[in-house]
Amino acid sequence: MNSNSWEQRGVEVIRGLAMDAVQAAKSGHPGTPMALAPLAHVLYTRILNYDIGDTLWPDRDRFVLSAGHASMLLYSMLYLCGFGLELDDLRNFRQLGSNAPGHPEKGHTPGVEVTTGPLGQGFANSVGLAVAEANHRSRFGPELCDHRIFTICGDGDLQEGVSHEAASLAGHLGLGHLIAIYDDNMITIDGSTDLSFSHEVESAFVAYGWHVLEVGEIANDLDALEIAINEAIAVEDKPSLIVLRSHIGYPSPKFTDTAAAHGNPLGEDEIGIVKAIIGLPTDEMFTVPSDVLSEYRISGTRGEAKRLAWMNRLSELRASDKKLSNEFDACIDQSGLPGWEESLPTWEEGSMLATRVACAAVLDALVDDVPGLMGGGADLTGNTGTALKNAEVFTAENQSGRQIYFGVREHGMGSVMNGMAEGGLLPFGGTFFVFSDYMRPAVRTAAMQGSKVAFVWSHDSIAVGEDGPTHQPIEQLASLRAMPGLCLIRPADANEVAAAWRVHINGDGPTAIILSRQNLPVLPGTDALSAQGVAKGAYVLVKEPLAASGSEPDVILPDVILIGTGSEVTLCVDAQLKLKELGVSARVVSMPSWDLFAASSDAERAEVLVPSVPCLSVEAASTFGWARYAHDSIGIDTFGTSAPGDVAMRHFGFTVEAVVERAQALISNKGI
């Protein structure tokens, strides 16, 4: 190992912490942190630009541990370098209340940039971080944005398909500030990688358009590691992959290069043997010599001068170019410019347009006033309402563009958007709602870490029509409503679409906006009611008739409440009129978001859904879950059919007549 004395001792301290934490927890993955301790040391002491004086400095280098199972590698560095983790957190690794959970979680542990664990997600997040960096650098100049994104990935990451979707996109876009280090240890849980893996990663990444460095057996050579990383940093026009041959579990005599080192404690006897080899006390746990810790803490402040210089440049920009600095601040804050909401369009009652068309109009109206907006579709940009007709395209040659074409890469798109959000953009990405299934791991991690991403899903029901059951979402609404942290909104018309975007931009986490393929009428009252109504999750769109003149009270309770979402709100409005002709008093409630409605107070919910009045839900999707709000439900609990959209809707009973009949039956039943 080419290093001075403290560095070599520091590497062994990292190995000791990894072994001890996993042993104390009786759970975890010690082998990779042991093997990559020199690499982590080089990154945090020689390469990364960061400053523990402000761990959220916008122009810091980003480090993503895509191989999140090796979390003790990251936690050791965050403790040693002074990010705020304490030694007690490592002692309580994987235990209740510890800031060192099993896999890295953004927002839980200081210094963790993204939530990793599901393999391949962190790699794809890194691509998104690199998109954000390139876009900011091109728009605001390298004086404000000029950092790198480093990620460590393993065989598991690169066997997952999402990493290859993201890698292909990264090469196409020429993301030169992205550097991935592939830990080629040839081991997975099942055993040697040759059980299931024989393609050449290097050749694949060259084909994707990456610069590839095969550095071989230098995992324990600090100087060689630094040289290789700096060579990758020097490449500006394409992302770099460093292929590093390491030996999992090194230097354990028993477990080096074995699958057992991946996910099991080494055991006290073997840990004692390893500590004797690397020069740590064999009768102590969590040994960190004070002089070694002091050196790491100095490394943690190494970027202070660069951060202060950056702050001075930002101050100069604010003095010289207020417009540009305001746009930069809005990007970093993931907000709009002052007064941005005034740009939201409205539509007149009776206008006919699909909510996906309205979505495109909203985005076009906001693109100048919400500088962080950037996105597109997974080869369905025009189809999903995610086209920006007045924006340039983000390409390798023009990285200032705001329209990005993700290609047929739904899984990769979702994960890349998460990284874009964590890098200071407001990303949006569209595909057909049924293909949200491809994106679910990314949506889940977005919800877990609060990434401010807009998942735009169109073609939201059996009204998709002739494409048939494979393209007609049924269970997706119910399954995504069950996901904590995701705000799902299914607008009834164009005005509710504008309101949904208001909710998202004013919010602080991911939003799913579910849109129609078919034209829908702009409903009476949504121009005035939808802004506040959508924000509350549900609102009274059509009130029940007033009592006869002179009677008391002035307003009577309805006989029934019709609850609709999306396109079915129109059906409820039409059914209300028919019920009125039949002498039945009905209220129509538009409920675009269960999540927002659940967050309202009990009193607010009772004003919308009166507890003593029977409720009928109408939604062209699974009825699962509607018992929470409705006493009866019109829905679809089978897969769809191939037929024109209006024919399919009638076939499954989404007609005025069916709603009227079920409402009357519910009133007669009074079983509430």
Residue 228 pLDDT more than 60?
yes
The answer to whether 143 and 30 have CB atoms below 8 angstroms apart is no
Share of the chain above pLDDT 90, in %: 95
- Give residue 317's Cα distance to chain centre: 31
407 closest CA partner among 379, 436, 376: 379
Distant-in-sequence, close-in-space partners of 426: CB < 8 Å, separation ≥ 6: 331, 334, 370, 372, 373, 374, 452, 454, 505
587 closest CA partner among 555, 549, 624, 633: 555
pLDDT band at 223 (very low <50, low <70, confident <90, very high): very high
pLDDT band at 552 (very low <50, low <70, confident <90, very high): low
CA-to-CA distance for 165 and 208, rounded, in angstroms? 10
* Mean pLDDT for the stretch of residues 513-522: 98
| Paired tokens of 100 | 């060192």
Question: What count of residues does the chain have?
Answer: 672
Q: Which residue has the tokens 């010599």?
A: 289
* Mean pLDDT for the stretch of residues 256-269: 96
Q: Give residue 545's pLDDT.
A: 78
Summarize pLDDT for 404-417 with one digit per residue, the tens.
999 999 999 999 99
**Bond preceding residue 118 cis, omega within 30 of 0:** no
| Paired tokens of 106 | 């953004």
* Third-level CATH fold of 340-520: Rossmann fold (3.40.50)
Q: Which helix (H) or strand (E) holds 154?
A: strand 149-154
Residue 77 pLDDT more than 90?
yes
pTM, full prediction: 0.97
Pairing type for strands 454-458 and 487-489 reads unpaired
Q: Give residue 3's pLDDT.
A: 54
Candidates 410, 422, 496, 544; catalytic one: 410
* Mean pLDDT for the stretch of residues 160-167: 98
Pairing type for strands 586-590 and 560-564 reads parallel
Residue 4 pLDDT more than 80?
no
* Mean pLDDT for the stretch of residues 463-489: 97
463 closest CA partner among 495, 433, 487, 500: 433
Summarize pLDDT for 640-663 with one digit per residue, the tens.
999 999 999 999 999 999 999 999
- The CATH code belonging to domain 5-305 is 3.40.50.970
Residue 283 pLDDT more than 70?
yes
Residue 252 pLDDT more than 90?
yes
Residue 671 pLDDT more than 80?
no
Same fold, 340-520 and 536-669: yes
User: From residue 656, how far is each of 352, 362, 630, 653 by CA, in Å?
Assistant: 19, 31, 18, 9
pLDDT band at 549 (very low <50, low <70, confident <90, very high): very low
443 closest CA partner among 244, 249, 435, 669: 435
* Paired strand residues for 373: 426
Please confirm, yes or no, whether 217 is among the known catalytic residues: no
Domain extents in the chain: 5-305, 340-520, 536-669
Q: Give residue 1's pLDDT.
A: 46
Summarize pLDDT for 591-616 with one digit per residue, the tens.
999 999 999 999 999 999 999 999 99
CA-to-CA distance for 112 and 68, rounded, in angstroms? 11
Q: Give residue 670's pLDDT.
A: 63
| Paired tokens of 107 | 């927002």
- The CATH code belonging to domain 536-669 is 3.40.50.920
Question: Using only C-alpha atoms, what is the Rg of the chain?
Answer: 28
Amino acid, single-letter form, for residue 253 = P
